[in-house]
Chain A
Amino acid sequence: MRNYEVMVIFDPNLDERTVAPSLEEFLGVVRNDGGSVEKVDVWGKRRLAYEINKNSEGIYAVIELTAKPETVKELDRQLHIAEDVVRTKVLRPSVH
């Protein structure tokens, strides 16, 4: 089990209130696989430093979790497939 930090950018055309529930759905993978979610932080809408897919804004969310490497890989894969997700980043803060 390892510590991870996952950052997700959602489509800005989404309603901000729907982000948290849909994020929970994704995190079901982690919980079912014996991992735990420590913190979910939805930043809300934020200006992007450059345009992504013609959008100048994005809804940011940061998740801290503990899980097995395979579980996080699966979570990242599923996030990539989802159309509402613009970009993701998985990081291990404890390494540094």
Chain B
Amino acid sequence: MAKPAARKPKKKVCLFCQEKISYIDYKDTTLLRKFISDRGKIRARRVTGNCTQHQRDVATAIKSAREMALLPYTSTAR
């Protein structure tokens, strides 16, 4: 029985490298919300497709936003 061909996951390109955004603003919650799950957790790099540096910047921005109650630490919305 032939083995099914190995699935090639589509290579994601970092959003911030594409758009050439150098500074990720912690006040921009609509953007940051794309990188948290509905539980409020930060999405992993393999999910977001961000590059190492930008994933790091996103994470610090989210943490700053959490400190100022712009984003939730947790949300029990399900």
Contacts and interface: CB of A to CB of B under 8 A. Distances in A.
Interface of A: 7, 9, 48-50, 52, 58, 60, 62, 87, 89, 91, 93, 96
Contact of A50 (B25, B26, B69): B69
Nearest to B25: A93
B71 to A, nearest CB: 5
Interface in B52-78: 57, 64, 66-73, 75
B23 A9 contact: no
A48 B24 CA distance: 21
Contacts of B24: 96
B25 to A, nearest CB: 8
